A and B are shown apart, each in its own frame.
Chain A
Amino acid sequence: NAGVTQTPKFQVLKTGQSMTLQCAQDMNHNSMYWYRQDPGMGLRLIYYSASEGTTDKGEVPNGYNVSRLNKREFSLRLESAAPSQTSVYFCASTSEGQGGSYEQYFGPGTRLTVT
């Protein structure tokens, strides 16, 4: 099992450019998430998908769109990148652990710089 995979690992964009971050999981999880992490801070939820075919906004959705392509894949799109979107982006999926722990499995992250 590869777990959660993300591409690309690194990306540099100019202001106004667009790009899509790809995420896939092979653990048959229903729920998937996109978080961003700024230096010295915790993770903030951008969007989530509780099941295939559904997506919902998280805490910081402005400037982003998502697609839950199928059960395995959940992509994040920046339509017009801004320097404020410089961050590390993590994709995650959730198991339903014993006692409802809902352990989240994270991908390796995409380090995005917008100049």
Chain B
Amino acid sequence: GQSLEQPSEVTAVEGAIVQINCTYQTSGFYGLSWYQQHDGGAPTFLSYNALDGLEETGRFSSFLSRSDSYGYLLLQELQMKDSASYFCAVRDPSRGRALTFGSGTRLQVQP
């Protein structure tokens, strides 16, 4: 089966850097994805790591270590609009391209 663990809540101040960790267990690994969801909204895709290392997209970066079954999302220069829930997800190889999601990390950015 698939399972992912991430912290339930993180608080940081505007302008700071925050890291959201994710550990996973999966029967077959096809990469780690990250999604952002604002309250009342739909999840939106942020990033994807198939290989070890850091992927950078603007203020957001995502890291993967396949040997440790671990990844993180790094958010820099935090803005109030970054307050949202962040989900890590892995593909479920027994269900086509469906994803199994972690329970989410709620990020609260304070002024």
- We find that the number of chain B residues with CB closer than 8 angstroms to chain A is 26
Q: Knowing A45-B100, A48-B95, say if A100 contacts B50 (CB, 8 Å).
A: yes
Asked whether, in the complex, the Cβ of B43 is within 8 Å of the Cβ of A43, the reply is yes
Known: A99-B50, A100-B30, A103-B48. A45 touches B98 (CB 8 A): yes
Digit string of B59-101 for contact with A (CB within 8 Å is 1, else 0)? 0000000000000000000000000000100011001111111
Q: How far is the CA of A33 from the CA of B102 in the complex (A)?
A: 17
- 9 A-B pairs closest in CB distance: A42-B101, A101-B48, A106-B42, A50-B96, A103-B45, A102-B97, A42-B103, A43-B101, A94-B97
Query: Could you write out 15 A-B pairs with CB less than 8 Å apart?
Result: A31-B98, A42-B87, A42-B104, A43-B101, A48-B95, A48-B96, A48-B98, A56-B96, A90-B42, A100-B31, A101-B31, A101-B48, A103-B33, A103-B48, A109-B42
